[in-house]
Amino acid sequence: MQFRRQKREEDGINITPLIDVVFLLLIFFMVSTTFTKETHLKIALPEAVGDVQQEVPESVEVLIDAQGNYAVNGQALANNQAVTLMTAIQEVGGGDTKQPFIITADANSSHRSVVTAMDVAGQLGYINLSITTKNPTNSPE
Whether the pLDDT of residue 47 is over 50: the answer is yes
Share of the chain above pLDDT 90, in %: 19
Residue 141: predicted pLDDT: 45
**Which domains can be identified in the chain, with CATH numbers?**
60-131 (3.30.420.270)
Bridge partners (DSSP) listed for residue 76: 71
Helix axes 111-124, 82-93, angle to 10 degrees: 50
Cβ contacts of 77 within 8 Å, gap of 6 or more: 69, 70, 71, 84, 85, 88
- Tell whether the model's pLDDT for residue 114 goes beyond 80: yes
Q: What per-residue confidence (pLDDT) applies to 65?
A: 86
In terms of average pLDDT, the best of 20-29, 30-39, 69-78, 104-113 is 20-29
pLDDT in tens, 51-93: 666 666 688 889 888 888 898 988 888 888 999 999 999 888 8
